[in-house]
Structure 1
């Protein structure tokens, strides 16, 4: 069965924020912390760490800002996840 996008997936996907040429979790870079995998907020471009990371910044951002859909930024992965529906949407 194909994965179908939900109504939360925006028509245009935001580009990731790149700070000072560094690609990483925006919040972990500010505090000098580490992450496991990176996730992109498709609504605004915020880059956060995944739920396997101790800080879970991508999910925290999603809930705090009301931006439900995140996308994997890992090489070879192009899936999206809707936190509102708790399901894969792309």
Structure 2
């Protein structure tokens, strides 16, 4: 979460109204309900992992062993096992 100067986003009259209640303090303004994105959606990392996992499953189906996949992707035995035996 980054900080934004209030005067750069709020209209002057709204900022003056807020200053009646708090001055010089940090105020957290939460997002509206239903607006929040899921983990990794904004950065695109969720999609990257999805593609990587599909690639791992495909290699496993083509005969690459779990131990070889562990070395290629730097993941633990259990992580690879979860990926290749998941029903996705």
TM bin, normalised by shorter chain, reads under 0.3
Q: Which of 1 and 2 has greater Rg?
A: 2
Normalised TM-score (structure 2): 0.24
Normalised TM-score (structure 1): 0.23
- Higher helix proportion, which one? 2
- Higher strand proportion, which one? 1
